[in-house]
Structures are given as C-alpha cells and as structure tokens.
Amino acid sequence: MDERVMVFAPAPLLTVTIEQQADTLELHLHPGGQGVWQSRMITCLGTPVTLCVALGGEVGAALGKLLVDEDVTLRVVNGGSTTGWYVHDRRDGSRAEVAENPGTPMARHDIDELYTVTLTEGLRAPVSVLSGPADPDVVDPDIYRRLAADLTANGGTVVADLSGAHLAAVLDGGIAVLKVSHEELIDDGLADDDSVGALLAAGRALRERGAASVLISRAGEPALALLDDQPPMLVHAPPLELADHRGAGDSMTAGVAAVLARGGDLTEAVRTGAAAGALNVTRHGLGTGRAEAVRELAGRVRLTPLDEGTAGKQTGNEKTEDGRTGDDGGR
C-alpha cells in the first residue's frame, strides 16, 4: 500500500454558482459534495487520493467530465440513479439557494457495484474516508456499515465524517476516527446541548459504540478530541478572519486522513486537521488551501487537557499553555 487515501463519495453534486465580479456576471460549474471537498484538501496537502463515486443521468455525465480535472485517481460507477445538483446565487456576497436536487436513491445493483469498487480501492490504501451524501435518503446506510467493517477487518484505517443513520451504521462496523460536529450530535439526539460536558459524554458514548477516537468540531469554539487512551483535550486553532465558514469541518477531516496515510500519529493528525479547517474559512472555495500555510498553522495549534471537573461549565475559550485564548477548532 502506498501513502494514499481512498475517499468514498457515493453521491457527489454538480454545483452551479452565479457570481458578480465588477461589471461581469459569471457562472461557475464545479464538482461538489462532502467527499469531493475532502479529496481536494487531501490533495492540497500532498497526499494522493482515489475518489470512488457513482454517477447517473445527464447531470452525472456532465459531472464526470468535471471530475476528470480534479487531481485524483477517479473510480466511477455509472448507474441508473440520477446525480444531484444545486444552483446558488452569490452576487451580493452571501449564498442564496436558487434550486437544488440531491439526486435519486441508488438502486441495489449500483450499490453492489460501488461497494466492490470501493472495497478494492480501500484495500489498496492505508486510510479510507467515508463521506456522506447531501440527502440521507440517496444512499443506503448499510453500505457504510459493510465498508467500515470489511476495511477495518483487513487492516485499514477508516475515518468517517457522518451523521444520522450513516453515523450509526459505521459505528456498528467499527472505525478508527470519527469526526462529527456538535450540531449533528444535538440534531441526532446524541447530546443534550452544546456544553462541553454534554458533548464529552456524547463522545464517550460514540467510542463505546465503535469509534476508537472521536473529534467533535464546535463552530467558533475549540474542538474536543478523545484520542485512543489519552485524556480528553481541547483543540485551539489559531484565530483567523473568516471569509466563508462552510467547509471547515470537511477540511479538518481531510487533514486528519492525510497525516494518518503518511504514517503520522493522531496528535499530529488533529493539529493538521485543525489547521486545514482554520485555513479553509479564510478562503472562498471549499476544500482549498496551500500545504505550506497548513503546515505553518499546524505548528500554532494548541492541544490542552480538559478539566473534567468543570466540563459542564466550560465553553472552550480557556487559556492555552502559552496564555493565548483558543479559537476555532473547525466546523
């Protein structure tokens, strides 16, 4: 196996964006969806990616041509289910939804073909990332359970960034690292609120259910990290001006996977993930950045032990060991 990451992105999207640049109205077409954005950041960090996707219909044919231009090894299953898309208007600087369609649910035959392709590529890579669809109804969660179980059983390291039924499925299969946002934990009924104590309890429960390590992103607050047998930690990323908050969590997952694929340890992986997430919010473009910037920021990420005696009252803005106040740990 080489230092490669397999990214499972079963339902990528065709993204259409309308933008105003001075006096010029522009239309941009790009591949999108969580797995595509994660792949883009992993590649930016210098780690090769094999991207496994399913495409269908007229939109799928167009998206396939755009994906060829991504700097990844592409494995495509062409099936009968139609690929999703969205159109956003960003002429005034905000992101207004014009229309969207997440695609149609994948048929059983397409799922079987995609499973075989993904398993093959996952066995060839030391690390696999399981990313979710834009709409949970598009992909049967059981394919996630099977991939998590089979890749883990055959010596692979599985990183997942999921919620809902797909999260429950990979826990049943068993994974090395789970990245999840605090909003997702609350929405799924896994955490009572956004307090550190409630999120810490949720993280421990997720570990008992099948995740060896859990990384919980918290929007503008430091992330929570429960890594193997280490005590819980707060992850303080350097404070940076925000341009677009979207995509920070995906970049965090990408940074973790890239480091693990090249043999780094979990602490280095979390530092790099936090740095990649922090850099991404300074840019207009999901999953983008420069490796040199991430490396510089990673050296400024601080991991501090969590004082569990006051965890129920902590917000996460405690001082780091060098006296600075922590900031964003990724979304």
The predicted-structure confidence for 80-119, as pLDDT tens digits, reads as follows 899 999 999 999 878 899 999 999 999 999 999 999 999 9
Structure tokens at 221: 């607050």
The predicted-structure confidence for 125-173, as pLDDT tens digits, reads as follows 999 999 999 999 999 999 999 999 999 999 999 999 999 999 999 999 9
| Mean residue pLDDT across the chain | 89
Domain-embedded: residue 165: yes
Could you tell me the pTM of the whole model?
A: 0.89
Domain-embedded: residue 205: yes
Q: Which of 43-47, 242-246, 274-278, 316-320 has the lowest mean pLDDT?
A: 316-320
Domain-embedded: residue 239: yes
Q: Residues with Cβ < 8 Å from 186, sequence gap 6 or more?
A: 192, 193, 194
Domain-embedded: residue 86: no
Binning pLDDT at 50, 70 and 90, where does residue 205 land? very high
Domain-embedded: residue 74: no
Please report the beta strands in 24-92, taking only residues with DSSP state E, as ranges in sequence order. Answer: 24-32, 49-55, 73-78, 83-89
The predicted-structure confidence for 186-197, as pLDDT tens digits, reads as follows 999 999 999 999
CA 266, chain centre distance (Å): 16
Domain-embedded: residue 296: yes
pLDDT of the residue at 229? 85
Q: Which residue has the higher pLDDT, 245 or 271?
A: 271
pLDDT of the residue at 126? 97
Q: What is the mean pLDDT of residues 181-186?
A: 96
Domain-embedded: residue 19: no
Domain-embedded: residue 249: yes
- The enclosing domain of 174 has a CATH number of 3.40.1190.20
Which range marks the domain in which residue 154 is found? 5-10+34-59+105-310
pLDDT of the residue at 287? 46
Binning pLDDT at 50, 70 and 90, where does residue 285 land? low
Buried b / exposed e across 104-116, counting CB within 10 Å, b at 16+?
A: bbbeeebbebbbe
Binning pLDDT at 50, 70 and 90, where does residue 261 land? very high
Domain count, the chain: 1
The predicted-structure confidence for 220-258, as pLDDT tens digits, reads as follows 789 999 999 899 999 998 887 665 555 578 999 999 999
Binning pLDDT at 50, 70 and 90, where does residue 271 land? very high
